[in-house]
Each structure stands twice: as C-alpha cells, then as structure tokens.
Structure 1
Amino acid sequence: MGNGCSCCSSTKVPENEPPEFEHDPLWWVKLLDDVGRDPAGVTRDFPRTHVYVATSTRNNYSDAKQKVQKHVDKVLVVGGAQGEGAHFVERNARMRESVELLMELCGEETSSMEAAWKNQQMDAVDGSALLMSVLLDSGMMSRSQDERSCEEKCAHANGPSDAKEGDTAGAVLPASGPVEYFVHSKALRLMQYMVQSVAFYSVQYITQALRFPWCKHMQDISWVVDVYPEEGKYDGTEDGERIVLQHKHVLRHYVSEKDRRNQPRFEVEWTCAFHINLKQLRLGHSSTTAGSKLGDDEEVQHIDAHLTAARVEQPRGKMCWMSSTWRSRLSELSKRLKQRFNVEIEKTEEL
C-alpha cells in the first residue's frame, strides 16, 4: 500500500509537491460539503452501486465479484425480456440486502423496511423509483408535503372560495415549489456518502495527479463501496460506534488501438475511506443534514486516501514493437507513481 494517505491527507498538504500538481488541495472539504445536498440523489446512484456491508455477525461479501461478473455475462448472452428480468430481480435483491445490513450496522430496527419491501415488485425496472418508495413507506425518509397535517390540507379545501364561473368546485391546487426531504434513518445518512457527486472529488484528485500531456482521459471502470465496523478503541467512543465507509475505484487510461505503440495503457486502484462516528450522524430536515464536517465531534473523524496499486499493459513478445516514446512515457509515469505515492507499477500482458 502506498503513502496516498500522507499525500492526500485531510489535515496536511505536502510541501514538496511539484508544480504539475498545482490544484486545489482541499478537495475533501468540497467533498464533505456535498454530502446530503441532494437528498434524493441516493435513489439515483445507490441502485447501480455495488455496496458491500459487514456487521459484527454477517455480511454480503460471499462470491461478490463472481456474482457481478456472472450477472453481466448472463445479461449479455441471454438478452431479451427474460434475461433483463433476472437482472432487475438480482439488482433489487442486492439493493434490499445492502440497505438491511446498513440498518443493522447502525443498530436500527428493520421491520418497517422489510414490510415496505414486501409491497414492491422485485422485478421493477426503475430502481430509483423502487428505492424512493421503500424509503418513504418505511419512514426512513419523508417529504415536506408528507409532514403537513391533515388539518392544514382540509383548511385549504374548506376555506373561503373565490372560484369563478368555470372553476371546478372543491379543486385545490397545491403551491408549486422545490420538494424538501427529512432524513429519519442513520442508514440513509450513510447512503448519502455513497452518491456519485461525493465520489467525484476524490476521483478528480487522483486523475489530476496522474495527468500528463499524453494522458488526459482516465475512465472509472469500477466503483465499489465497502462499509464495516472500525477495529480498535478510540477516545470518547465505544466499540461499534465507529465505522469505515470506503470507496474503491479502478481508473484506467483510455488508449485507442492505434495509439498503443506510443501511449502506455495503464490502470490504478484508488481508495477513499471515511471514518465515521455513528452517534454523530445528523438527521432531520435536508437543510440541517446538507454538508458534513471533519473533527472529533463531527460525523467524519478522519479521511484516508490511498493509491494502492498500478498496472501497465505490456503484451508478451511485443516489447520491440513499443516505441521509444512509449518507453519514455512509462518511465515518466513510473517516476511519478514512486515519488508521489510510493507505488511501483506492475507490468501485465493484458488489462
């Protein structure tokens, strides 16, 4: 494991950073500020994100990677309505298990959530609508209009009417405006750390750190979130109070077939981990849960970021085919990875 934590630390910026890395060192501040800004964003991103959760008693890790690949292959090969239906059932079941485990990890009762799932179609195509329905029906989330009392609604319906001829009697049109949300579940608050807009800032950091004149297109080919209890005891906290929520990315330099003689095709593994105190998780109206902070008395106690591995594609028997430009660029990349992250690049026949 490289020293990405020291170079990407949330508390210190290295003094010997070379000029090519002149970019905003406070990416983690922007990242935390984005948490919860879009409460409904969870329903958009969570269904398509692989989230693996471990509690003190169980997890959903079993054959995770094999299941993902098998699932992708099945959809590609089978196709049609039958293959797609199986895909959506599997995705929704995975989503349900992940939410349930997050609630268990937070010490929350799951019966309401389980009851809400029973009312859903498990082969639903729209995962966002499905998750939103579960969150609202289970009480994990509520909308501002749902918080209004029945008496308030009746007052509008039965109050003095200025209806003119042609108006429909008794019709009440609600005032238009942005929908506001209330977060009632710690598990849902954790899910707000898993949206794509939050992950964007750490990914942007590493792609900028590996930017060269010949490398400007890094693809995020894999994104997984791991959540598990943090081991050890810490001042002011008890066992089970602190958890780790870690984003794992595999980023690959896109190189077209015709350019591979001159441009190294490489990939890196990048992780960004939040160390979170469950007792400090903020619930309530979206205005009070928007944004997060770093500190001993805040939700996030610490942030670690690491570049853990790097690989370059070098097909066997084709070393003579690689140009001197390719070799020079690989040397440039290797030097930066070593100096910046203390990571050696591994050569592989194929990515």
Structure 2
Amino acid sequence: MSSREYTRRDLMQKGVAGAGFVTLGSLAGCGSIGGGNGNGNGNGSTAGDTVPAKAEAIVSMDVEAMLNDDDLRDVGDTVLEELQQFGQGEGNLPEDVDSAIEMAREEADLDPTGFRSGTLFMQVEGSGADEDYAGIVMETDWSEDDLIGFLESEGDSDLEESEYSGKTIYSGADTDEGGMAVLSDGRYVIGPTAVLEDVIDVVNGDADAIGSELTDLYDMTTEGHVQFATVVPEGSLEDMDTDEIEIESLDQIEYVSGSVYKTDSAYGVETNMWAGDAANQLKEDVEFAIDAATRLEDTSEALKSRLEDVRVESADQTVTVSYEEDIAQVKEAAQTYIEENIMGLLFLLAFSGGGTTL
C-alpha cells in the first residue's frame, strides 16, 4: 500500500471532481443556472430522506438538468470559443462543452454525466454549532466498483472497508476523518465519520431527517438547478446595511431559502426570507430599499430597469423576492461578461492547472 493517506478532504475532492462537478463547471465557465419551473422540491434533492436533523443548511444542485440545458450549454461553448481564439488554439483546451465532457471521461475513466445531483448539507458557522459537520449526498449512475476504482486510481492507494448498520463505508488507511458510505445503488455520501453514521441512521429509519421551518421553506422554493435553505445566525445580516440604505427588520429573519431556475422563456432568481410576525414590516422595508436604490446617483440605468422588475411578495410569515430575465438577454449579458473578462478566465484556467486537469 502506498504511503499516501486518504483524508476526508481527498475523498470530497475526488468524489466531487470525478462527478464532473468541477470539470464541467470550470470548463464551461458556467454557474448554476437553469432548469425547471413551478413550486416544490423536484430537482432530485434528497434532503427529506437522508439529511440528518442536525444540519442547518442544505444546497441541492441538479447537475443532470444543467447538462441538458441547451442555453446554458451555449454559454459554456462561448467561453471555450473565446479561450480558443484568445490562445490561438494552444494548449489542451476543448472546443466546446461536448468535447470537454469527452476529455473528462477519458482522463478520469469515469463518465462525468453519471453524476445526476448532489445535496450538500452542514451546520452553520456562527450558530454555535459544529463547523466541521458537513457532508454531500450524491445521486449517480455509477456503480460502486467504478467509483471506488476511480478514487483508488486517483489516490494511488487502496481504500479500507468497514460497516455501519448494514452499509459499507470506505476510508483511507490510518485516518479517522471519515470517508464515503454507500447508501444504495448509485447513492453515496461523503463526510466525517459522525456525518456518515447520522445519514445511515436516517436512511435506515433510526434517526430523524432535517425538518421544521427550514425544510418547509426549502420545499416551497421554486424548482431549479440550484435550491438552498439555511438558518440565519443572529446578527449575521447586519453588514447588509449601507450608508444610504438601512433595513432594520433584517435581524428578524430566521431562515432563508432560494433557487436559480429556468422557465420556458426566462432565467429566474428567488429568495425567501422567513421573518415570523415581522414579515409584513420586512416586505415594506425591502420595497423601500429597492425603490431607494433606483434613486441613487451611481445606479446605472440598466440596473434601475432590472430593479423595477423585482417582485416582492409576502405570505405565511415569509417574504419572497424574485426576478426573471429573458433567456436571450441573459445570454447576451454572459457574452459581454466573457469578452470583458477573458483575461480573468485565462488566469483561473492557468491557476487550476489548465485543460481538464482537476
């Protein structure tokens, strides 16, 4: 066995990277936008049946939907085209997203499109909780043998097997930092040992999953490629005030959720803020802040126009702020950003090792 030891960080990095999470995101130059329409938790999230009650924040990403989003793919192709033109075809850059996927598949010997969705969960810094309590549940098309083979080939050492409540756990030798547990065919969780055991207990029905207002707010969020929900530690929103605009009711927010989604004609961003009995006051304050922002001298006309299209609604002690923009406008803005920031994109690519190196 190699002298190299696997740590939890190794497994997190290799598990996620192998999924194409890093590969496709960095090569395509795309954030998490797109996919879905309508309310409800329909993006493949596993929050309700795997995330332990101890978790205070959850983030779900529908990777499969992002890969199937032709408009998002166009943005990725544009990034790669600009990089090719600027670098005159030098280096090991793929020509488009499809070739980036193929290059990742060949290098990793694991199909990156097999990563369908991921749910990251954690306890929140500043809430008095354990900041090391974090994990990620992956929904994939990969077999256990394929994924373990990939991890071991990347680390040049074998993983050790153990068992907890009928589930297999893989970890590095001589480390108690955790590893990866197999929940079912194609379903895995990575994290510290305590997290792995808590998730297994939830899956087996021996412990409670995450619940309360946090889950309710998460479930009401518009379905999208990215959905999240988190508790808000006291005082954590104080820095959002500016010299020109102050929202006193921000400190009444206890939970926040949101999503980035796609309709037939637009991309949208939504934020839900649960403020209890202070929700009506929060709605008024947010509306005042948006109006005030449009009147500031340094607010551009383009931003003013967008602010005027922001919707603010209140229901069930929750204030929802949302904004949608036409797909063509989003793609045009992305094109402009790419052209104006090509040097930064090249720097990031060089800093990460270039090409498809993970």
Report the TM-score, using the length of structure 1 for normalisation: 0.25
Which protein is bigger by CA-based radius of gyration?
A: 1
